[in-house]
Structure 1
Amino acid sequence: MPPVIFLLAVAVFAQGTSEFMLAGLLPAIAADLGIGIPQAGLLTSAFAVGMVVGAPLMAAISRRWSPRLALSGFLVIFILMHVLGALTDEFAVLLISRIVAALTNAGFLAVTLSTVSALVPQDRTARALAVILGGTTLALIAGVPGGAVLGSLFGWRSALWAVAIISVPALIAVVIATPRAAGSGSPVASGSAAAPGRAEASGTQAVRLTAELAVLRRGTLLFPLGLGALVNGATFCAFTYVAPVVTEAAQLPTGVVPLILAIFGVGSFAGVWAAGRFGDLHSERILVFGGMALFLGWCAFFAGAHLPAVVFSLALVQGALSFAVGSTLIATSIRAAASAPTMSGSFATASLNIGAAAGPVLGGLAYASAAGALGPLAVSAALVGLAALVFALGRGRGPGRP
């Protein structure tokens, strides 16, 4: 595995911390800015919307840039937006800073996924992507609970400052270690067993943008992209409102929220590891059995959220299942879009963040209803149930299968 992949995972860790940590800070942000929790939840949705728009937009803008220039530029703006968010007292400014940070985060992740897919052969795509997504799951294990602890001790702004600070070493690593051209024979990339022709196509930008976008017409690509949006929507729906589930449904103290977030992160890491280990050879089994278990898990979470034992155990299980299935869908999408070397990463990023944008909105509506804290869990179960139905119908179509 090329060392640059592990270095990029460090940057993804910082960005994943920013993307997910607001789930444990919503009550504090709402109280400080004088807004309701559902309105504060829009910060998560705004970030996801920025990711949806930013993934294809930033990938298209930067497709002729070197990976080093694109990734470092995106990361610089990402850092500046967190400084702005930490300094403002206006919800509107905070919202804008989150959107801009999301645009640059999307660009960074899209370029990263495309670069990674060019550095390894197709039969190791899932494993390489698991390393990158491992940065996200480590953010759930350490970064998000750490942000919640900082927020409880020093205020929610300290968490934004922390993300800006930990992003600086990641920026230095990106500037030093990222190849000047995807698939180039840089010292970092040398020795990688890239698939013949893939790196060269990515590095020379041989494929026109219109030809890459035309790949979106293929059912074999739209199928995993649609499933990814539904599964990630369910994940973000429940994850964004985990604090009310813990404190209102299970009647646990606020101090337990970081622990639940960490447990979810541990499960997520296990899920990503499983997808990386087995996803290249057994993707359909992961989707079938993992998807069924994921649906049943959200149903059980909804039914037993008032029991602390259920909250603790299903936070682990659902984290693992959500990321095992989601990571497998990412790898499937990347493989299906192999003829779009510079845009494939943006397709997967946009798809997952369509779900990440819709999930918190639907969760907020459900939370504001009579269902209260249980509402987001019901929505998560419904979204995965819909994904299971789409998957079952799609498998029967034959030529449209991934």
Structure 2
Amino acid sequence: MPFPLYLLAMAVFAMGTSEFMLAGLLPDIASDLDVTVGTAGVLTSAFAVGMIVGAPLVAVLARNWPRRSSLLGFILTFATAHAVGAVTTSFAILFATRVVAALANAGFLAVALTAAGTLVPPDKKGRALAVLLSGTTVATIAGVPGGSLLGTWLGWRAAFWAVAALCLPAAAGVLKGIAAGRVKDEAADRPALRAELAQLARPRLVLVMLLGSLVNAATFASFTFLAPVVTGTAGLGDWWVPLVLVLFGAGSFVGVTIAGRLSDQRPALVIAVGGPLLLIGWPALAVLADQPVPLFALVFVQGALSFALGSTLITRVLYEAAGAPAMAGSYATAALNVGAALGPLIAATTLSTEVGVLGPLWASGLLVALALLIAFPLLTEWKKQRLRPW
């Protein structure tokens, strides 16, 4: 894989650390800013909403900007938003900084996903995407638990400062590793904006985006509220939260790596095998959450399955949106973040029910079940017609 692809993954690592680290910081943020944990969880949704709105909007604006300048500007804006968030004492301002950071992240991913596809042959998009998303999975393995440990040790504000600092070498890497290009050269073979937007009228593209949203909603519904499960249901101390996040991240890395080998040629296999296993895993985690060993094992497995399916569906969005080379990355980003926004909101409503902190796990199971109800009849139909599923 081309070296610039790994530099993009480095920036994705910094941004992924910010997006996921709230799972381990929510209790401290809620206590410090005098809000409930459920309200603090809305910060995750705020980030996702910014990604949803920002991905297509910023992608449209970035069509007229050189790639390197766009990527660098997005990273620096992201860093600034975290510096402001680290010093504020207002939940409203913190909420606003999450939206701004999300807009910057959305713009970066929209450009980076498109750029990644142009750095490799047409039939290697899945492999390229796996490298790019490895930044996110490494964030869940190292960055997110590191942020959680830092938050436990020095407070959640220190974690925000750390993310801002991480953006600086990422910005230097983009500046050095991505060649400066002229807008005229980069846009030479690009379809008109109207033609790219018209791709959203294609049913198969919309279907894959919907499936990606549902799977990601299930992932974020549970991941956002893992900390209360660890410290509450399992009865473990705060220092166990980073370990659980490491396990989820390690699983996600395995899942993305495997999916990167299969998503180009055999996406239906990933969905047909991984989907039912993911569906079984969330209720199983809810039932066994009070037993640390099964809890740890299932967190790893669910991380692997969630990211295997999620990354496969991102890849399919890029394939289905091949007629929109400048906007395809924004479609994938927006689709997945619809799920990231809805997941925590749905999960938060279950916290006040009889199942309490286990509610998000049950909600994740229902979201995956809905995705499978949509996906499997179509896969069966395609098989009967002897058509390749994608």
Quick one: distance in 1 between partners of 2:156 and 2:195? Answer: 45
Quick one: distance in 2 between partners of 1:264 and 1:234? Answer: 14
When structure 1 is superposed on structure 2, of 340-349 and 203-212 the one drifting more is 203-212
Quick one: distance in 2 between partners of 1:183 and 1:371? Answer: 54
Q: CA deviation at 1:281?
A: 2.0
Q: Is 1:365 the counterpart of 2:349 in the alignment?
A: yes
SS state of the match for residue 41, structure 2?
helix
Q: Is 1:383 the counterpart of 2:377 in the alignment?
A: no
Unmatched tracts of structure 1, length 5 or more: 185-199
The corresponding residue for 1:12 is 12
Q: CA deviation at 1:101?
A: 0.3
Quick one: distance in 1 between partners of 2:82 and 2:378? Answer: 41
Counterparts in 2 of 1:208 and 1:2: CA distance versus 1, 3 Å: same
The corresponding residue for 2:72 is 72
Q: Is 1:350 the counterpart of 2:334 in the alignment?
A: yes
The answer on whether the counterparts of 1:47 and 1:99 sit within 8 Å (CA) in structure 2 is yes
Quick one: distance in 2 between partners of 1:183 and 1:256? Answer: 49
The corresponding residue for 1:275 is 259
The corresponding residue for 1:301 is 285
> What do the CA deviations read for 1:204-255 (whole angstroms, capped 9, x no partner)?
2531111101101112211211100000000000000000111111111111
When structure 1 is superposed on structure 2, of 161-170 and 385-394 the one drifting more is 385-394
The corresponding residue for 2:61 is 61
The corresponding residue for 2:178 is 178
SS state of the match for residue 313, structure 1?
helix
Q: CA deviation at 1:203?
A: 3.9
Q: Percent of pairs identical after alignment?
A: 50
The answer on whether the counterparts of 1:223 and 1:394 sit within 8 Å (CA) in structure 2 is no
1:229-308 correspondence to structure 2 within 5 Å: 229-308=213-292
Give TM-score scaled by structure 2 length. Answer: 0.96
The corresponding residue for 1:146 is 146
What is the aligned counterpart of 1:223 among 192, 203, 207?
Answer: 207
Quick one: distance in 2 between partners of 1:25 and 1:83? Answer: 16
SS state of the match for residue 368, structure 1?
coil
Q: CA deviation at 1:119?
A: 1.7
Unmatched tracts of structure 2, length 5 or more: none
Quick one: distance in 2 between partners of 1:206 and 1:229? Answer: 27
> What do the CA deviations read for 1:84-142 (whole angstroms, capped 9, x no partner)?
00010000000000000000000000100011112212211100000000000000000
Quick one: distance in 1 between partners of 2:266 and 2:357? Answer: 36
Quick one: distance in 1 between partners of 2:145 and 2:98? Answer: 19
**Which residue type is aligned with residue 81 of structure 1?**
A
Quick one: distance in 2 between partners of 1:347 and 1:182? Answer: 24
SS state of the match for residue 34, structure 1?
coil
How many residues get paired? 386
SS state of the match for residue 27, structure 2?
helix
Quick one: distance in 2 between partners of 1:63 and 1:249? Answer: 48
The corresponding residue for 2:165 is 165
Quick one: distance in 2 between partners of 1:210 and 1:103? Answer: 22
When structure 1 is superposed on structure 2, of 247-256 and 261-270 the one drifting more is 247-256
Q: Is 1:214 the counterpart of 2:190 in the alignment?
A: no
Quick one: distance in 1 between partners of 2:160 and 2:101? Answer: 11
Quick one: distance in 1 between partners of 2:369 and 2:57? Answer: 31
The corresponding residue for 1:190 is none
Q: Is 1:85 the counterpart of 2:85 in the alignment?
A: yes
Root mean square deviation of aligned Cα: 1.6
**Which residue type is aligned with residue 277 of structure 1?**
R
Q: CA deviation at 1:280?
A: 1.6
The corresponding residue for 1:187 is none
Counterparts in 2 of 1:95 and 1:336: CA distance versus 1, 3 Å: same
